[in-house]
């Protein structure tokens, strides 16, 4: 074994030993079978027992190791509530070496590894608690789904639906419901296998697929739907209990209030079972499942047993082809007698398919359990519904009196009415008077009467209704708890708290209990079922649309392990679900969609700070990419010209006025890019963090702009590269916006040369140029305690700041005060009835007029009057003014005030001219012996050559000061702007 030694001849205590598995005959060998060679990183003082530690410890990487970390799941886990270790960054490794060289002790864990946040996975040193309960696909999903699908509709409403719709249409209703649920089940399976699914079920999947805008509202509605389904099944159970009480002549108050009382007591007991924990709830569900299987066996045996006289009086005559044929066609009765009304009453029977998904946080492997369990439950329950409907309609006539005397031999006369006449039953009297109490169309007890033992079916009703109610009572709080943890809606965070090893949402249980009690007090099963159908249909529609949208956007992140789905079938399922919502109960559909829209609008207004990599984001990318590519093939035209600005702001937080000014005329109109040329090496290492902070600042300020940092050695190099590389296709800047350099005298020659040559490069690259000057200056860095960007400030100031506070943070590390206060600038104020003065001295193509026009389209500038100043002579003053008005009218600009400056050619005042000459003194090269030598200063020859033009500009300055002293904004197009500057 070799050891690394320090230059002093001993072992370097700061560098770990790197040991290779070798033999004595040569270099390390790499084996293709058996145990692979292992690289062991250890300290010199490590004992032999430590070196024989666990495999995880042996393979843990040190910050000083040159070896890469092995791939680990923790490196790729990024969820909202959990973030485990990540791969060490280069910055972390460099920092560790720098601290080591400086003699700073690096804290280590007990295992000897570095405690850097990026250094690898962490192992809990606390004693392990008992693992929470986790379920497989049979008990956790399939059995739970079957129990929720086998609800009160099966035992209390299926025979009534069959009697009204007939066998054929009932099968259509069942198969249409199964079609929707199967398509939804396939979509659920695809979404559930596309990444990790935690607690929250349907809400979690929709929100992570379609984003919070759709996911959060449907999470709220679906939680409510589950609470409503709990009330639905509890009311069904209460009806059965009330009927049993009537058989024994027990009455508490009356029919309706008895249902309410029994329902409230029942849901309270279910709440206590739920509060006991998932383990008790699961055991209770297993018991219910066994009772249901016994009830089904009892029912099918009863259909085979020859009916007694009592059963015949109730309309039960056993399997008979005449009864089967008679019940094939529909027989609509009463106010509920329609296909879609029957459909809406039945559909809640199919809504239990999400029961397994809703507790996905308690499953061992949701990606496997959800597809197998959900689709398996749909298959077996579909067979059971079809079998019960067909067998009941093959054995029972629609109307019967229940009077045993009506089936005695000899009672049949020539006036006998009804199918019972063919089997010795005369039910004419009750049929004519419409007072029949028995038969397929008149009682909810048909399955019990048809079965082998009546009370086993009653037990089945109890098991079905209670298991479904319990399942929904458990599902609703878990979905709502996940929604509350995401902190999307206000005032509901109190329900996010969980208790115990399974993180049970006890507070959400109480809320769900209150909602369920409120609907139990309605006491009408059909009314609750119609509203419940709409809520679940809405959820199913969005689940299917989530699957379609994720597939349609072709996001690389959409890689479900479950492949047996189709995006077009998912879209079909979504459309069918929406159509059925309105066909079931149109007012309930409108109510559901209205609430959904209001919840969506709140989120769009509030814009929660979450990023789940939703398919909506992927769709936005696709649309933006397609539009950008399509735009590249469109030729430029003057009508479509937009001022697309590259603004050299530095960190936007330092020059908010420059940002606000450009945003005033580009917002919602054209492109804006804030360019930041970084020449500070320390700031480059935190570039991504700084970028995120500055983008957050712009978003909070509601500035619609991109932030583009660029590292360069000088302002000119950075600006030149940004000019060439910024933008995408036709979305490319065409205007460079600079702040006016006000500190010429204090700046170094290199800084001035950079600024001037940047302007020259702007024209060379065919960009327009805009320079903003404000009397109070643009930079606000002196209000905060941070360094300035060297590319935008004189070197002297930087050096001075460095000497005074060498430990200051870089400019992108601006204090929280700068982020929260959002410094208000003049461009954020209402400008009132001030003027925008445009000095259109040279023909620049109209940009000088376009910017003021765009400003006046904003609310803050809308009352400002634009005044246009042009150059002319006194003789042709009126003619020049009329020509300009005609030109403005041709441009469709409502600028009616044009002033012709006839005194622009006059010589400026002596004091102003002297002030101009004095300001140039530091930049003059007076000694002619340096003539011909390269220099950035102005020679006497150049000064004389431009004397006339300079005097013209000084005179223009006098005119501007005289005419525009109270203007809100002055826009000037100097004639020298189109020439190359020197």
pLDDT value for 552? 85
In sequence order, what E strands does 144-275 have? none
For residues 153 and 151, what is the distance between their CA atoms, to the nearest angstrom? Answer: 5
pTM exceeds 0.75 for this model: no
- Between 252-256, 375-379, 756-760, the lowest mean confidence (pLDDT) is in 252-256
pLDDT tens by residue, 344-358: 888 878 877 877 776
What would the mean pLDDT of 547-564 be, rounded to a whole number? 82
Structural domain 641-772, CATH architecture: 3-Layer(aba) Sandwich (3.40)
For residues 836 and 838, what is the distance between their CA atoms, to the nearest angstrom? Answer: 6
For residues 910 and 269, what is the distance between their CA atoms, to the nearest angstrom? Answer: 99
pLDDT value for 982? 29
pLDDT value for 351? 75
pLDDT value for 791? 45
pLDDT tens by residue, 48-60: 444 444 444 444 4
pLDDT tens by residue, 456-505: 888 888 887 887 788 788 888 888 888 888 888 888 888 888 887 767 78
Among candidates 729, 733, 737, 730, which has minimal Cα distance to 658?
Answer: 737
pLDDT value for 798? 35
Residue 864 binned pLDDT confidence (cut-offs 50, 70, 90): very high
C-alpha distances in Å from residue 310, one per residue of 171, 410, 452: 30, 17, 13
Residue 88 clears pLDDT 80, i.e. is over it: no
β pairing state of 672-678 and 645-648: parallel
**41 phi, psi to nearest 5 deg:** -110, 120
- H/E/C letters for each residue in 344-374? HHHHHHHHHHHHHHHCHHHECCHHHHHHHHH
Residue 219 clears pLDDT 90, i.e. is over it: no
Among candidates 338, 354, 341, 360, which has minimal Cα distance to 180?
Answer: 354
Residue 633 clears pLDDT 90, i.e. is over it: no
**Under 8 Å CB-to-CB from 321, ≥6 apart: which residues?**
none
Determine the straight-line distance between the first and last CA of the chain, rounded to whole angstroms: 70
Residue 835 binned pLDDT confidence (cut-offs 50, 70, 90): very high
For residues 494 and 554, what is the distance between their CA atoms, to the nearest angstrom? Answer: 38
Residue 252 clears pLDDT 80, i.e. is over it: yes
pLDDT value for 812? 39
pLDDT value for 60? 45
For residues 382 and 367, what is the distance between their CA atoms, to the nearest angstrom? Answer: 23
pLDDT value for 11? 39
Domains of the chain, by residue range, sit at 641-772, 831-926+936-972
Residue 10 clears pLDDT 50, i.e. is over it: no
- Residue 34, token pair as written in the block: 């058996």
Residue 23 clears pLDDT 50, i.e. is over it: no
Residue 593 clears pLDDT 50, i.e. is over it: yes
pLDDT value for 646? 93
pLDDT value for 277? 65
For residues 183 and 537, what is the distance between their CA atoms, to the nearest angstrom? Answer: 12
Q: Which of 131-140, 678-687, 950-959 has the highest mean pLDDT?
A: 950-959
For residues 650 and 291, what is the distance between their CA atoms, to the nearest angstrom? Answer: 73
- Between 173-187, 509-523, 755-769, 934-948, the lowest mean confidence (pLDDT) is in 934-948
pLDDT value for 660? 92
CB 562 within 8 A of CB 322: no
Residue 279 binned pLDDT confidence (cut-offs 50, 70, 90): low
- Residue 590, token pair as written in the block: 């409108």
What is the share, in percent, of the chain residues with pLDDT greater than 90? 10
Residue 64 binned pLDDT confidence (cut-offs 50, 70, 90): very low
What would the mean pLDDT of 192-214 be, rounded to a whole number? 74
pLDDT tens by residue, 142-158: 888 888 788 778 887 88
Q: CB burial class (10 A; 0-12, 13-18, 19+) of residue 430?
A: buried
Q: What single DSSP character describes residue 643? A: -
Per the model's pLDDT, the better-predicted residue between 204 and 305 turns out to be 305
pLDDT value for 89? 65
**Mean confidence (pLDDT) of the chain:** 77
Taking each helix axis from N to C end, the angle separating 615-632 and 201-210, rounded to the nearest 10 degrees, works out to 10
Per the model's pLDDT, the better-predicted residue between 118 and 411 turns out to be 411
pLDDT value for 737? 92
**560 phi, psi to nearest 5 deg:** -70, 140
pLDDT tens by residue, 893-946: 888 899 998 888 888 888 888 888 888 887 777 655 455 555 567 777 888 888
CA 568 to chain centre: 23
For residues 16 and 871, what is the distance between their CA atoms, to the nearest angstrom? Answer: 80
Per the model's pLDDT, the better-predicted residue between 87 and 386 turns out to be 386
Q: What single DSSP character describes residue 870? A: E
pLDDT value for 93? 66
pLDDT tens by residue, 540-554: 888 888 888 888 877
Residue 789 clears pLDDT 60, i.e. is over it: no
pLDDT value for 866? 93
């Amino acid at each position: 074994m070799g050891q690394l030694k320090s230059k002093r001849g001993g072992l370097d205590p700061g560098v770990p030993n790197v040991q290779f598995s070798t033999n004595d005959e040569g270099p390390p060998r790499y084996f293709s079978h058996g145990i692979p060679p292992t690289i062991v990183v250890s300290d010199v003082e490590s004992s032999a027992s430590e070196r024989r530690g666990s495999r995880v410890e042996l393979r843990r990487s040190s910050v000083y190791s040159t070896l890469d970390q092995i791939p680990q799941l923790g490196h790729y886990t990024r969820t909202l509530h959990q973030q485990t270790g990540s791969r060490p960054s280069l910055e972390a490794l460099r920092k560790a070496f720098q601290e080591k060289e400086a003699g700073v002790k690096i804290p280590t864990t007990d295992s000897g590894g570095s405690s850097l946040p990026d250094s690898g996975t962490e192992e809990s040193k606390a004693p392990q608690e008992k693992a929470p309960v986790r379920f497989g696909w049979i008990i956790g999903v399939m059995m739970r789904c079957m129990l929720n699908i086998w609800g009160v509709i099966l035992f209390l409403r299926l025979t009534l639906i069959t009697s009204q719709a007939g066998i054929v249409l009932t099968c259509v209703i069942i198969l249409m419901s199964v079609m929707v649920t199967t398509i939804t089940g396939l979509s659920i399976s695809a979404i559930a296998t596309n990444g990790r699914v935690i607690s929250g079920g349907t809400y979690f999947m929709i929100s992570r697929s379609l984003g919070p805008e759709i996911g959060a509202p449907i999470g709220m509605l679906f939680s409510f739907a589950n609470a409503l389904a709990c009330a639905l099944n509890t009311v069904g159970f209460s009806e059965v209990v009330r009927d049993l009480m009537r058989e024994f002549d027990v009455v508490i108050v009356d029919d309706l209030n008895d249902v309410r009382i029994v329902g409230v007591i029942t849901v309270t007991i279910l709440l206590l079972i739920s509060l006991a924990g998932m383990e008790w709830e699961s055991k209770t569900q297993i018991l219910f499942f066994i009772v249901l299987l016994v009830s089904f066996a009892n029912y099918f045996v009863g259909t085979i047993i020859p009916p007694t006289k009592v059963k015949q009086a109730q309309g039960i005559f056993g399997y008979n082809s005449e009864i089967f044929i008679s019940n094939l066609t529909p027989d609509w009765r009463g106010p509920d007698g329609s296909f879609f009304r029957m459909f809406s009453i039945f559909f809640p029977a199919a809504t239990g398919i999400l029961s397994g998904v809703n507790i996905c946080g308690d499953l061992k492997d949701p990606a496997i359990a959800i597809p197998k369990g959900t689709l398996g439950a749909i298959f077996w329950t579909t067979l059971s519904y079809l079998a019960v409907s067909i067998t009941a309609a093959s054995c029972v006539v629609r109307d019967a009196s229940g009077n045993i005397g009506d089936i005695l031999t000899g009672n049949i006369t020539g006036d006998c009415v009804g199918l019972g006449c063919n089997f010795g039953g005369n039910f004419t009297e009750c049929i004519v008077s419409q007072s029949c109490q028995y038969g397929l169309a008149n009682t909810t007890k048909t399955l019990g009467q048809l079965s082998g033992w009546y009370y086993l079916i009653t037990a089945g009703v109890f098991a079905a209704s209670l298991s479904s109610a319990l399942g929904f009572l458990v599902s609703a709080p878990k979905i709502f708890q996940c929604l509350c943890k995401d902190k999307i809606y206000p005032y509901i965070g109190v329900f996010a708290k969980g208790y115990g090893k399974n993180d049970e949402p006890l507070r959400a249980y109480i809320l769900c209990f209150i909602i369920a009690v409120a609907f139990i007090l309605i006491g009408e099963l059909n009314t609750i079922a119609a509203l419940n159908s709409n809520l679940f249909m809405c959820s199913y529609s969005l689940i299917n649309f989530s699957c379609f949208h994720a597939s349609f956007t072709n996001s690389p992140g959409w890689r479900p392990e479950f492949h047996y789905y189709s995006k077009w079938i998912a879209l079909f399922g979504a459309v069918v679900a929406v159509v059925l919502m309105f066909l079931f109960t149109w007012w309930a559909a409108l109510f559901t969609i209205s609430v959904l829209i209001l919840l969506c609008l709140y989120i769009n207004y509030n814009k929660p700070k979450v990023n789940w990599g939703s398919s909506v984001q992927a769709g936005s990318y696709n649309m933006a990419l397609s539009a950008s590519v399509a735009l590249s093939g469109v030729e430029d035209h003057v009508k479509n010209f937009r001022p697309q600005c590259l603004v050299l702001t530095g960190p936007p937080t330092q020059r908010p006025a420059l940002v606000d000014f450009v945003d005033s005329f580009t917002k919602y109109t054209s492109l804006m890019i804030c360019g930041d040329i970084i020449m500070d090496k320390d700031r480059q290492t935190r570039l991504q963090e700084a970028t995120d902070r500055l983008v957050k600042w712009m978003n909070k300020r509601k500035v619609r702009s991109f932030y583009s940092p660029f590292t360069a050695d000088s302002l000119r190099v950075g600006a030149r590269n940004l000019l060439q590389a910024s933008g995408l296709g036709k979305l490319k800047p065409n205007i460079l916006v600079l702040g006016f350099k006000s500190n010429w005298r204090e700046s170094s020659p290199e800084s001035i040369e950079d600024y001037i040559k940047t302007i020259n490069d702007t024209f060379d690259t065919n960009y327009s140029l805009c320079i903003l000057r404000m009397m109070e200056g643009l930079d606000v860095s002196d209000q905060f305690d941070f360094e300035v960007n060297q590319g935008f400030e004189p070197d002297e100031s930087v050096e001075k700041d460095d000497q005074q506070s060498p430990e200051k943070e870089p400019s992108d590390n601006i204090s929280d005060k700068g982020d929260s206060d959002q410094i208000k600038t003049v461009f954020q104020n209402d400008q009132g009835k001030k003027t925008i003065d445009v000095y259109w001295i040279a023909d620049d193509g109209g940009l000088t007029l376009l910017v003021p026009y765009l400003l006046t389209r904003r609310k803050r500038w809308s009352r400002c009057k634009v005044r246009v100043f042009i150059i002319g002579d006194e003789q042709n003053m009126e003619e020049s003014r009329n020509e300009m008005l005609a030109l403005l009218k041709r441009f469709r600009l409502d600028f009616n005030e044009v002033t012709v400056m006839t005194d622009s050619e006059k010589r400026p005042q002596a004091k102003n001219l002297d002030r101009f000459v004095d300001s140039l003194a530091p930049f003059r090269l007076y000694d002619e012996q340096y003539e011909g030598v390269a220099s950035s200063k102005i020679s006497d020859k150049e000064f004389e050559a431009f004397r006339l033009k300079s005097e013209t500009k000084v005179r223009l300055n006098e005119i501007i000061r005289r005419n525009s002293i109270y203007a809100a904004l002055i826009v000037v197009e100097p004639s020298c702007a189109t020439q190359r500057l020197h």
